[in-house]
Structure 1
Amino acid sequence: MQIAGAVLLTAAWVGASLLGYGMGRVTTVAVSGLAVLGASFLLAWGAETAEKDVPRAFAIAVLAVLAVAPEYAVDALYAWNAGAGGATIEACSQLSPAAIDAGETELARACHDANLAVANMTGANRILIGVGWAGIALFTVMRASSTADPAVVNRDGFLKSAVQLDRDIATEIAFLFVATGWAFLVPLGGGIGALDTLFLVGLYVLYIGLVLKSDVEAHDHTVGVPEYLQSWSIPWRPLSVLVLFGYSGLMIFTAVEPFAHGLEAIGLANGIPSFFMIQWVAPLASESPELIVVAVLVNKARSTAGFNALISSKLNQWTLLIGTIAVVYSIAFGGYGVLPFDARQSAEIWITAAQSFFALALLCNFEISLREAVVLFVLFITQVLIEFALIQDLLVLPITSHDLLIGYTVLYVAAGLGLFFLRRESLKELFGRATDAFRTAMGREPVHVDQAD
């Protein structure tokens, strides 16, 4: 019945798509939004069912890729347009920022699309942490009274309760740490090129290879649909997982873009700038499947799996997404090329890397408190709101939008460095555990002594 209910949520979108039925803007947002909701439930059930036969980290990695597939599609579209239009670092540098923003020529439009590819990517990454990580932490603690989630630690004091993470998550955090470090270097080349692709995609391939060598864990906490499907025999159980992944992935891939564009159109109709909509509203819509999936896991007192999914999503966006848009750009360009971006987008990448750096400093001790979640959200939302006010001339400050981005970058990095210094023992444990996981996967004995959980 639960599966039927989730599929029913997607029925109107499937019918409209097959019949080619045109819908109004608001109706499109509503119908496609319901399809995303239904698909998110199916995706979560598929991932939980898959844990019976494959390592949990791998199942969650697949879930993360499917959940952010729309984000790849949107970025790939802009990267393709940039390549097809002949946007290069040299050609775009000859145009004024005003000409590029206005899209006065075909080349200007291509350069603008290159900037939009980066803006959409950085917006999605910052939303994932500023809204996703922070919001799920708050939701987990809020739901703990009814879910009896063992990961939630209630502490006396204002906003001191925290969500404790499984220390096995050290591997994902360590890989994300390396990807974040590389991201700080990306703007130095003036674009995204082959070296970025090789390093970042290679890093993700290494991560997937590592988790595939992990042991399949026995779970006794599955309930509802996953528990029922896990009782099926082979080959029906893995077949059900493939069907759930395939159908939900198709629904998310086809429904999120109209959902996001519908929201964009509504925003534009209300006077919100297109660049702001593409950087923030479209990614917020495309990130909705994974946030729903994680909320489902948290509601089942599986907050560790939920945070695993969020961190895995951040990792594949910070590696596969950045790496593959350069490949798409080169294909459209008709040969090898470097996806260009302007100084503003360099600052966007730096602040996104800095936010990731700060977030990792929060998680390096394997927990996130309500206070830390609130700080993460406040830093994110204040930067977005101040930037919006500057763009709309609602606020007069002696700084530009670019200055604001650099200022927040410095703030994130300074706060992160301070936390890493205070938590240097936790950081040492984190990399020790990640190293042991790598050695174990390679068939070698671990060398670090486990610290008490």
Structure 2
Amino acid sequence: MILKTSGLSSLWTFPSILLSAFVIAWGAEAAQFLISQGLALAILAWLQTMPEFAVEAVIAWQAGKDPSKMPLAIANFTGSLRLLVGLGWPMIYFVAAVFRKKLIAIRLDDEHSVEIFGLLLPILYFTFIWWKGTLTLWDAFPLTACYVAYLWVLWKIPPRESNEEALEDLGVIPRKTLALPPAQRNFAIWMLFIVGGVILYFSAHPFLDSMLGLAASFGVSTFVFVQWVAPFLSEFPEKLSAFYWARKVSTANVALMNMVSSNINQWSILSAMIPILFVISAGKLQPLVFNEFQRHEILLTILQSFLGFLLLINLELKAHEAGVLFVFWFVQFVVPSWREAMIYVYLGWCLIEIALLIARRSAPPAWHGLRRTFAEHVAAKS
């Protein structure tokens, strides 16, 4: 009966999720010519990660009432982030490579340096959280500040120039939207975001519930569902829009930055939300205390994201880098008992990348890109 009900629900929820992903993506494509591409992608990431926020919020609230459920809050959070870097980033490269033979790397622009270094800030702070072994209400403030600073920089960056070549890369709907008179154009772009967000809002919970029913029917454990299945499903709209852009080499970097923006979103705002809801639900000021297993999970997630940062500071993602990111994630997914060992594997690769940077004796391209972006757009407008 559960399987039948879940199957029937998926008949309308899955197409709705598909539709919402494309509508929101069209809005972001058009919006990058009115605001900075990074800010458009940040808005997109907010809308796309609503299901993930909803899932994490429910778990954090339940953990406040029942401390035995606290491990699930960490499991969902870490699983979601590891899926983005270990599965999402490589899949973008592989999709782009399918549509463009002999693709050597996905090239990033100078302004994408903001997203790359925007990812580093919350990772560094979360290293401190891992070290002290607790996530408290007070941690929510610096984590939120990281995200606000990131948005502030993006706000200073001008929109892309709407030249003929840039418009040709757009889909039919974004292109026709930008051809409208200014007032109608702005209204249409907002409506794409709003309509897509509303569709996603009303279909996300039934979609997750239907997939939960299917997972339970096939005997998937609660922990596996919370760490891998729920994040995969809640990030599904994001993956759809990213793969939609990855089909073209000219927009593959947008797809990758879409994922990176979601990484930043979850490392900062989503993680800040957890202790807030936990404290409100518990009715008293208390921290989330990590046990040894949870600390390993958090450290593994930190090192994976930090490695992703180190790979992107060259303003490109190469084939072998995407491949190894995927293999490392797949190993820990298939053989959970190897996760502690994978910490040392990630740490070793991070140290190799740092050694290569030092041996190069010059700042990485992303650092130069960040400095140019600040000089041209942030410092000049302050």
RMSD of aligned alpha carbons: 1.9
Q: Structure 1: how far apart are the matches of 2:343 and 2:149?
A: 29
Q: CA deviation at 1:335?
A: 4.1
Structure with bigger helix share is 2
The structure with the largest alpha-carbon Rg is 1
Q: Which residue of 2 aligns with 1:260?
A: 208
Bigger mean CA deviation after superposition, 136-145 or 177-186: 177-186
Q: CA deviation at 1:265?
A: 2.5
Contact 2:6 2:209 survives alignment (8 Å): no
Q: 1:115 aligns with which of 61, 67, 71?
A: 71
Q: Which residue of 1 aligns with 2:347?
A: 413
Letter in 1 for 2:112: I
Q: Which residue of 1 aligns with 2:61?
A: 80
Matches within 5 A, 1:284-433: 284-300=232-248, 301-387=250-336, 401=337, 404-424=338-358, 425=360, 428-433=364-369
Q: 1:128 aligns with which of 80, 84, 96?
A: 84
Q: Structure 1: how far apart are the matches of 2:223 and 2:310?
A: 31
Contact 1:260 1:283 survives alignment (8 Å): no
Change over 3 Å in CA distance of 1:440–1:326 after alignment to 2: farther
Letter in 1 for 2:343: T
Q: Which residue of 2 aligns with 1:434?
A: 370
Q: Structure 2: how far apart are the matches of 1:117 and 1:250?
A: 26
| Partner SS for 2:157 | coil
Q: 2:230 aligns with which of 279, 282, 285?
A: 282
Bigger mean CA deviation after superposition, 227-236 or 36-45: 227-236
Q: Structure 2: how far apart are the matches of 1:175 and 1:118?
A: 22
Aligned residues: 370
Q: Structure 2: how far apart are the matches of 1:351 and 1:253?
A: 31
Letter in 1 for 2:82: R
Q: 1:188 aligns with which of 131, 136, 151?
A: 131
Q: Structure 2: how far apart are the matches of 1:39 and 1:442?
A: 33
Q: CA deviation at 1:341?
A: 3.7
Q: Which residue of 2 aligns with 1:392?
A: none
Q: Which residue of 2 aligns with 1:89?
A: none
Letter in 1 for 2:130: P
Q: Structure 1: how far apart are the matches of 2:156 and 2:61?
A: 35
Q: For structure 1, which runs of at least 5 residues remain unmatched after alignment? A: 1-22, 86-109, 146-153, 156-160, 388-400, 446-453
Any idea what the Cα deviations from partners look like across 1:135-181, whole Å, max 9, x if unmatched?
11111111125xxxxxxxx37xxxxx222222321111112122222
| Partner SS for 2:85 | helix
Change over 3 Å in CA distance of 1:205–1:45 after alignment to 2: same
Q: Structure 2: how far apart are the matches of 1:259 and 1:418?
A: 42
Q: Structure 1: how far apart are the matches of 2:298 and 2:234?
A: 19
Q: Structure 2: how far apart are the matches of 1:227 and 1:325?
A: 39
Q: Which residue of 2 aligns with 1:233?
A: 181
| Partner SS for 1:302 | helix
Q: Structure 1: how far apart are the matches of 2:67 and 2:73?
A: 10
| Partner SS for 1:368 | strand
Q: Which residue of 2 aligns with 1:47?
A: 28
Q: Which residue of 2 aligns with 1:169?
A: 112
Change over 3 Å in CA distance of 1:345–1:262 after alignment to 2: farther
Bigger mean CA deviation after superposition, 287-296 or 246-255: 246-255
Q: Structure 2: how far apart are the matches of 1:77 and 1:125?
A: 18
Contact 1:140 1:298 survives alignment (8 Å): yes
Letter in 2 for 1:115: P
Contact 2:81 2:301 survives alignment (8 Å): yes
Q: CA deviation at 1:196?
A: 2.1
Q: Structure 2: how far apart are the matches of 1:174 and 1:183?
A: 15
Q: For structure 2, which runs of at least 5 residues remain unmatched after alignment? A: none
How much identity, in percent, do the aligned residues show? 27
Q: CA deviation at 1:187?
A: 2.5
| Partner SS for 1:139 | helix
| Partner SS for 2:106 | strand
| Partner SS for 1:24 | helix
Contact 1:51 1:59 survives alignment (8 Å): yes
Q: 1:206 aligns with which of 149, 164, 168?
A: 149
Q: Structure 2: how far apart are the matches of 1:233 and 1:366?
A: 36
Q: CA deviation at 1:444?
A: 4.3
Matches within 5 A, 1:5-84: 24-83=5-64
Bigger mean CA deviation after superposition, 198-207 or 246-255: 246-255
Q: CA deviation at 1:210?
A: 0.7
Q: Structure 2: how far apart are the matches of 1:413 and 1:361?
A: 12
TM-score, normalising length: structure 1: 0.77
Any idea what the Cα deviations from partners look like across 1:70-113, whole Å, max 9, x if unmatched?
10110011111122x1xxxxxxxxxxxxxxxxxxxxxxxx1232
Q: 1:142 aligns with which of 75, 98, 101?
A: 98
Q: CA deviation at 1:241?
A: 1.7
Contact 2:45 2:238 survives alignment (8 Å): yes
Letter in 2 for 1:64: A
Q: Which has the higher contact order (CA 8 A, sep 6+)?
A: 2
Q: Which residue of 2 aligns with 1:158?
A: none
Letter in 1 for 2:374: F
Q: CA deviation at 1:420?
A: 2.4
Contact 1:197 1:323 survives alignment (8 Å): yes
| Partner SS for 1:235 | helix
